[in-house]
Amino acid sequence: MPRIAEGRPAAKPSSTEQKDRHRRILRAAAHLGAEHGFDHVQMNDVAKEANVAIATLYRYFPSKVHLFTSVMRWRVGAYELEETPTVDDPAGGVADLLIRMSREMSRTPKLALAMIQGNSLSYAMGSRDSALDDERFTRIVQHAAGIAEATPDTARQIRLIVSCWFGTLVSLLNGRFSMGQAEDDIRAACALLLRPLEPDSR
C-alpha cells in the first residue's frame, strides 16, 4: 500500500514561478493518471512530463498519495463559487452539480479512480488533505443548494449526500451502473436527503 511520507510536510508555492511549476505537475499527473491509473504512474514520469526536477516534485508532493489527492482537490476547486447563488430547488441544484461532476469524471475513468484511490488512502491514513472531506467541497455542495450558512442539520444532510454520491460514483466508474442509473440515484438521494428535517420528537 502506498504510504504518505512522514515528517516531510508539503511545501506551498508562493511565487509566480513556483505556482506555474505546481500547476504543471498537477496537469502532468492528471494526464498520466488518465492513461495509466494510480498504480502505474511513476513519480519520475510525472516530473519528466512537467519538466521539473524530481526533488521539486517531492517538495510539493511528498508521495503519490499526496499528488493524486491534490489533483482531486484541484479538479473539485473548479466548481467553487465566490458567492452563494439564489436557488429555487436545493435538491435539484445539488443533483445537477453532482451529475455534472460525475459525467466529467466518467470521461477519464482511470484518472477518476486514481484520484479516488489517493483520496481514500489519504483519509484512511489520517491526513487532513482528503479532498472530499474538506471545507471547500462542503462549501461547493452547500452553495449548489443555495445555503449561505449551514446549520448542524443541513451540514449532516450534505455529509450524507456526499457519501451517497461517492458510492454511486465508484459504482459508475467500475461499470456497475450506467450513467442513467447513476443520475437517477443521485437525484433520488438529493430529493430524499434535502427534505426539511422533521423536529426531533423524542
pLDDT, residue 6, reads 47
Residue-level pLDDT at 132: 65
The amino acid that residue 28 corresponds to is A
146/87 Cα distance (integer angstroms): 5
Nearest to 192 by CA among 152, 164, 170, 166: 164
The pLDDT of residue 176 is 94
Give the alpha-carbon dihedral of 49, 127, 124, 121, to 10 degrees. 0
One digit per residue, the tens of pLDDT, for the chain of length 202 reads 444 444 567 888 889 999 999 999 999 999 999 999 999 999 999 999 999 999 999 999 999 999 999 999 899 888 987 777 888 899 999 999 999 999 999 999 999 999 999 988 887 776 666 666 677 888 899 999 998 888 888 889 998 999 999 999 999 999 999 999 999 999 999 999 987 644 443 3
CATH class of this structure's domain 64-193: mainly alpha
Q: Say how many residues make up the chain.
A: 202
**pLDDT for the residue numbered 71:** 95
Q: Where are the domains of the chain?
A: 64-193
